[in-house]
Amino acid sequence: MTARVIVLRPRRLTRPPVRPRPVPARPRPVPGRPFPSRRVRSSVLVGPVVEWDGVRGLHTATCGRCADTMTARSAEYAYGWAETHECDPELAALLADICGGTAA
């Protein structure tokens, strides 16, 4: 009895021709008006801000000076933390130097 050997080769898929995408034209500068900077820098760092996180169902308090954060189920607790929060002066100065703001 003889065995038949079938050689399997991957099919070559034909791709549709690639169409070049049009390149959008860059806006030309208006004389006397510079391009707006894409990077926004704030010179004033903000203290603690309390926000509602609807996804997690928690209040979050975040300090813009030292980047300290906390979460709480109670708004009173979050606002209390924000009122009594004291930034670490060294960390606030370091972050202000990096971000270009003023230290607390």
Q: Is the pLDDT of residue 45 over 80?
A: no
Q: Where are the beta strands (DSSP E) in the chain?
A: 48-53, 58-63, 69-72
Would you place residue 34 in the very low, low, confident or very high pLDDT band (cuts 50, 70, 90)?
low
Question: Would the CA dihedral through 72, 75, 77, 83 be positive or negative?
Answer: positive
Q: Give me the pLDDT at residue 59, please.
A: 93
What is the pLDDT, as a whole number, of residue 40?
Answer: 47
Pairing of strands 69-72, 58-63: antiparallel
- Helix, strand, coil: what percent of the chain each, to 5? 20, 15, 60
Position 43 confidence tier, pLDDT thresholds 50, 70, 90: very low
Distance in angstroms (rounded) separating the CA atoms of residues 43 and 64: 12
pLDDT of residue 72: 92
**Per-residue confidence at 39, pLDDT binned at 50, 70, 90?**
very low
- Listed by start position, the domains of the chain span 48-99
pLDDT band at 94 (very low <50, low <70, confident <90, very high): confident
Per-residue model confidence as pLDDT tens digits over 61-82: 988 888 888 999 989 999 999 9
Q: Residue range 10-20: average pLDDT?
A: 66
Which pLDDT belongs to residue 33? 53
